[in-house]
Amino acid sequence: MGVLNVTPDSFSDGGSFVDAAVAVRRAGEMVAEGAAIIDVGPESTRPGAQAVPADEQIRRIRDVLPDIRAAHSDVSISIDTRSADVAREATRLGADIINDVSALRDDPGMVHVVHETGAAVILMHMRGAPTTMQRDPRNLMYDDVVGEIMAFLEERAAFAESRGVARDRIAIDPGIGFGKTVEQNLTLMRRLDAFVELGLPVVVGASRKSFIGAVLKQDDPSRRLMGSLACAVAATLAGIHVIRAHDVAATVEAVRMAHAIRNATP
């Protein structure tokens, strides 16, 4: 899953793809590099980010999604939003996956959009909100970080099913970097196999995140490639289904190699 943020303030590539033509060109590059999904983000969910009104999010995707869909009919497009209005319009413009970091909690209408449009949905775990989630994550305590997040994701998947969303349209994401300490993120990365055992497709987005910077003493997100690739390999060896990444070409190669190792004859 290639990351395409059409925002001015995303933590790694904010401002790079606000021009629709540039964004569409970058989507084409990621497809050529091996991306099977393009994840279009009209609202930053980086730590400290402020909410963006639905009409502004829609303005940011209006000239991007149709051109990506027209040029790449065999690629899935996900819309990274917490807004039901944005999700509904995005599916009309060509998106077929709704990537909701709030797991259908922030907007009561979102589950109805998922059901009515037949889109797939990614349910992600997040403690707090983007504006506050990393202000002091030490205060966001877990007795059992893996077990509690697994229980949360199971509950949200059950909620979606109870509202008519087919189970085979649901994926889950443990929310690396969303309201977790460095140590908690590392624990989640080490125990990703537990999430696979829940029987739903699992998405992991560790690319360029601050816990990698903390481990490698690298403040610049664009210089966290090696750490991001290590996380992608670890996720692949754990059986994760979708790797969300900024550096698509390098990640695809790393994942292919890890996949070959994982599936080698014992």
DSSP string, 64-109: THHHHHHH-TTSEEEEE-S-HHHHHHHHHHT--EEEETTTT-S-TT
3-state helix/strand/coil string of 133-186: CCCCHHHCCCCCHHHHHHHHHHHHHHHHHHCCCCHHHEEEECCCCCCCCHHHHH
What span, in angstroms and rounded, lies between the C-alpha atoms of 5 and 23?
A: 8
Residues involved in catalysis:
209, 244
User: 119 and 99 in contact (C-beta within 8 Å)?
Assistant: no
Report the DSSP beta bridge partners of residue 242.
203
At residue 59, the 3 state secondary structure works out as helix
What is each CA distance from 148 to 89, 123, 219, in whole angstroms?
33, 15, 30
Q: Which pair of structure tokens corresponds to residue 231?
A: 């996380």
Q: Which one, of 96, 41, 40, 39, lies nearest residue 73 by Cα?
A: 96
Q: At what angle do helices 84-93 and 54-62 cross, to 10 degrees?
A: 20
Amino acid at 210: S
